[in-house]
Amino acid sequence: DESVADLLFSYLFAAGYLTGDEVNGFKLPNDEVMLDFQHKMLEHYRQQYHIDTRLFTDVTDQLQKVLDAKDQVESEQAIESLKISLERLLSEFAEFTQIKEGNLTGSGLTKIVHANEDLIHSVMSYITLQLKSLSKFGTEVYLGGGRADIVFIDEENNKAAVIEPKYGKETAQNAIEQIK
């Protein structure tokens, strides 16, 4: 519900956990809040999904290698390693379709609650925020013809990326067309 999200962001802004940003609307105000936010997200994934946190670190490291690649061959090798690491991480999300409701309510029943691209979006946002050469980051960024799910810029390596997670019947080709 958009009104609930607006209320949440208003409270976060009033409490000082968000500041205004002319380009993206809001941003985290400083490194201390950013580090706390990152720690809490990682702890959530660890507790809720029982994911080995080293898998997140591995994906972040592989993505950084893609950005640091200096030539086509190095870039292609880094992309292949990134794919493997990302598949390994996503495969740990309870078959990526189910989570034990007992983790939330104690009932022990199985219920599908996270089988959508929002979870992928959240995971990719977390990973991207860990990049050592990250210069700019945004989610749901308006780019003229629509909104990009995740956009980041690495000024150090003179590279940027648009990430459009897809889940279910959506395909990689759908994502590429949307990015174009």
Distance in angstroms (rounded) separating the CA atoms of residues 4 and 168: 26
| pLDDT at residue number 128 | 92
Distance in angstroms (rounded) separating the CA atoms of residues 88 and 126: 16
The model's pTM is 0.71
Distance in angstroms (rounded) separating the CA atoms of residues 107 and 137: 39
Distance in angstroms (rounded) separating the CA atoms of residues 143 and 141: 6
**Would you give the distance in Å from CA 91 to the centre of its chain?**
16
| pLDDT at residue number 110 | 44
- 166 versus 100: the higher-pLDDT residue is 166
Question: What is the enclosing helix (H) or strand (E) of 99?
Answer: strand 99-100
- What is the tens place of the pLDDT at every residue in 22-41? 766 667 788 888 888 888 88
